Amino acid sequence: MTTSASIRERIPFIMRDLAARYLPAGDLHQGETALAKIVAEREDPFLVLISTILSQRTRDEMTERASRQLFAKYDTPRALADADPGDLERLIKPVGFYRQKAVQIQKVSRVLLDRYGGDVPATYDELIALPQVGPKTANCVLVYGFGEPRIPTDTHVHRVSNRLGLVRTKTPAATEKRLMRTVSKEYWLHINELFIRFGKDLCRPIGPQCPRCSFTDFCRFYPRTKWGKLVSKTARRAQVHRSRRPSRTHD
């Protein structure tokens, strides 16, 4: 499958397979990413915003640990804005660049208080104007904080989308734009959760678990794996064997 039509036909199959594997209840509240767990416990866009900032260049398990420690003490814009910076650093130390992030989350909390009365804005343009909020963070807040269909695109979503042939892009930003043109909006809300889970579980950057995957027939990456090479080698041998068979003659 190489045409855009075939890609669009492939997407429902991919989404159904991943939803059955990772979200059997069909609900983001059942997700396993740090953001999904926060949503399941407390549906608060502010907590989603702060957790997403903490998650930048950080493993999911560290984001979850730092978020839990932070929100146990500071879980509102006012509390964070007035917090002791040293205490913030201590609480979020599990994440990478925790000193810089302590400054960032305090700054964004103050901006929310000054501009929006402590509320998190619910539009992409307003979110993107906040300190330390880029496209991925804004889209995460819209998806996990407000339930608005968007496609947050991190390295997992970027890698999986390219491997499965949904896009041919060089950057997550380009992947997001292409996916939004190609994927039906009905699937946007779940792409981030499902592709991240798939990217960590099976479609890993190193050591992918291809024998457990349902998409090897059209995966662009599979032919380069040891399993794909073995399949190709076996097919070539079978073809050579067939070509060497003597043809039958009839009297």
Give residues with Cβ within 8 angstroms of 77, minimum separation 6. Answer: 46, 109, 110, 112, 113, 118
Does residue 136 have an active-site annotation? yes
Identity of the amino acid at 76: T
Gap between the Cα atoms of 245 and 97, Å rounded: 65
Element (H, E) at 237: helix 226-244
Counted residue by residue, the chain has a size of 251
Gap between the Cα atoms of 50 and 13, Å rounded: 34
Please identify which of the residues 27, 93, 125, 136 carries the catalytic annotation. Answer: 136
Name the 3-class secondary structure at 94: coil
Residues 132 and 110 sit within 8 Å (Cβ to Cβ): no
Terminal-residue alpha carbon distance, the chain: 45
- Give 65's DSSP letter: H
Does residue 154 have an active-site annotation? yes
Please identify which of the residues 154, 177, 201, 251 carries the catalytic annotation. Answer: 154
Gap between the Cα atoms of 47 and 96, Å rounded: 18
- Give 97's DSSP letter: T
Active site residues: 136, 154
